[in-house]
């Protein structure tokens, strides 16, 4: 009899406990939804999406991480916490705005939105970013003349390059004759050092004024930077028709090797491929490009020259 009574007590307790469990159901898991979940913009443009969050158990954090070519950029991750937001609701909408970065044009970019609730459960959504690379301009085998040793005719020599004008080869006379000041458009120039027998490209800032009278009157002297690359002439030529030309230009400078003076490159030789980056303080901003050396007529006389092709951001 006692055994039967004990069994009845146990059964009754188990039923009571079971009833209590059914009244305390676990809240549903969190969800994050992006509207829209993709966007395109020019470099420096703005992308915006609405982040719709539901967290019945309570919202702990939203972590936003850029991913470049499947590599997570943890250094630029951003965490939004409920305490920071002052957000106690379980459902709300967050507006996310981002300015596209230049590096984004070199790769496939996703932005990960990782939502965590108060029970440490997560949900993830991704925003795909499409960045429009800048147009590319090509100068095919342009000849640049050095200032001459006797200075006669030097100011009329076509010595300087500009990425900012349709007229890309300039003389000092042309620059000084313009009604509007265009010295800020000039990126670099060519000269030949007869002492070291060195064909040289140099930024206007690092250009030796003793080689050319008149440059010292320019109000702007841009600081273009140069880096040697390991690119072959075939790889340079492929960039002419490549849909990823901007990526080639960007990475060539990023991975190039600077000399002792970053604003000039000396001892140029035929088939050298040189990367450059124009001064970021220019009106149209910094640009990157590649230079291929086709031919050099050594010296600083009237018939001497360097013949180069240039691919650059327009």
CATH 2.60.40.770 is right for the domain spanning 31-132: yes
Q: Contact, 179 vs 276, CB < 8 A?
A: no
Most confidently modeled range among 11-15, 68-72, 266-270, 283-287: 266-270
Nearest to 236 by CA among 177, 289, 189: 289
Q: Mind listing the pLDDT tens digit for each residue in 147-157?
A: 875 554 467 78
SS3 category, 288:
strand
| Mean pLDDT of the region 108-137 | 86
Q: Mind listing the pLDDT tens digit for each residue in 9-32?
A: 334 334 444 444 545 689 999 999
Structure tokens at 216: 């010292």
Q: Contact, 270 vs 293, CB < 8 A?
A: yes
For residue 149, is it left (φ>0), alpha (ψ between -120 and 50) or beta? alpha
SS3 category, 93:
strand
SS3 category, 284:
coil
Q: How far is the C-alpha of 29 from the C-alpha of 31, rounded, in Å?
A: 7
Q: Contact, 145 vs 296, CB < 8 A?
A: no
Per-residue confidence (pLDDT) for residue 103, from 0 to 100: 46
**193 burial type by CB count under 10 A (0-12 exposed, 13-18 middle, 19+ buried):** middle
Q: Which residues are within 8 A (CB) of 243 and not within 5 positions of it... i.e. 6 or more apart?
A: none
pLDDT confidence bin for 86, thresholds 50/70/90:
low
Per-residue confidence (pLDDT) for residue 230, from 0 to 100: 95
Q: Contact, 146 vs 304, CB < 8 A?
A: yes
Give the predicted TM-score (pTM) of the model.
0.63
pLDDT averaged over every residue in the chain: 82
46-54 and 91-99 beta bridge pairing: antiparallel
Structure tokens at 167: 């007229």
Calculate the alpha carbon distances from 91 to 51, 58, 82, 121, 127 in Å.
11, 9, 12, 16, 20
Per-residue confidence (pLDDT) for residue 16, from 0 to 100: 40
| Mean pLDDT of the region 186-200 | 92
**262 burial type by CB count under 10 A (0-12 exposed, 13-18 middle, 19+ buried):** middle
Structure tokens at 83: 């305490």
Per-residue confidence (pLDDT) for residue 151, from 0 to 100: 52
Most confidently modeled range among 86-90, 216-220, 250-254, 294-298: 294-298
Q: Bigger pLDDT: 273 or 168?
A: 273
Where in the chain are the domains? 31-132, 136-313
Name the least confident of 48-52, 72-76, 181-185, 250-254: 72-76
Per-residue confidence (pLDDT) for residue 133, from 0 to 100: 63
305-313 and 136-144 beta bridge pairing: antiparallel
Nearest to 192 by CA among 268, 140, 263, 257: 268
Establish how many alpha carbons lie within 13 A of residue 208's alpha carbon, considering only the half-sphere containing its beta carbon. Answer: 12
Percentage of the chain exceeding pLDDT 90: 44
Per-residue confidence (pLDDT) for residue 186, from 0 to 100: 94
pLDDT confidence bin for 134, thresholds 50/70/90:
low
pLDDT confidence bin for 300, thresholds 50/70/90:
confident
């Amino acid at each position: 009899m006692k055994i039967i009574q004990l069994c009845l007590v146990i059964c009754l307790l188990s039923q009571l406990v079971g009833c209590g469990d059914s009244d305390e159901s676990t809240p549903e898991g969190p969800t994050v939804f992006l509207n829209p979940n993709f966007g395109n913009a020019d470099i420096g443009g703005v992308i915006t999406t609405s982040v719709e969050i539901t967290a019945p158990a309570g919202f702990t954090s939203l972590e936003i991480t850029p991913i470049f070519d499947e590599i997570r950029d943890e250094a630029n991750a951003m965490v939004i916490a409920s305490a920071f937001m002052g957000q106690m609701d379980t459902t709300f909408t967050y507006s996310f705005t981002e300015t596209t970065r230049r590096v984004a044009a070199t790769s496939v970019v996703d932005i990960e939105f990782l939502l965590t609730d108060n029970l440490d459960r997560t949900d993830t959504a991704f925003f795909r970013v499409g960045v429009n690379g800048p147009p590319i301009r090509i100068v095919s085998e342009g000849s640049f003349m050095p200032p001459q040793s006797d200075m006669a005719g030097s100011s009329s020599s076509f010595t300087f390059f500009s990425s900012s004008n349709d007229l890309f080869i300039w003389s000092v006379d042309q620059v000084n004759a313009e009604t509007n000041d265009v010295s800020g458009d000039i990126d670099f120039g060519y000269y030949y050092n007869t002492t070291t027998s060195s064909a040289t490209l140099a930024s206007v800032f690092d250009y030796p004024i003793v080689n050319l009278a008149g440059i010292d009157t320019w109000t702007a002297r841009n600081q273009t930077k140069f880096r040697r690359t390991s690119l072959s002439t075939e790889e340079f030529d492929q960039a002419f028709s490549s849909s990823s030309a901007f990526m080639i230009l960007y990475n060539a400078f990023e991975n190039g090797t600077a000399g002792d003076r970053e604003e000039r490159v000396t001892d140029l030789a035929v088939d050298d491929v040189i990367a450059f980056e124009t001064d970021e303080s220019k009106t149209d901003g910094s640009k990157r490009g590649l230079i291929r050396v086709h031919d050099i007529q050594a010296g600083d006389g009237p018939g001497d020259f360097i013949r180069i092709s240039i691919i650059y951001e327009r």
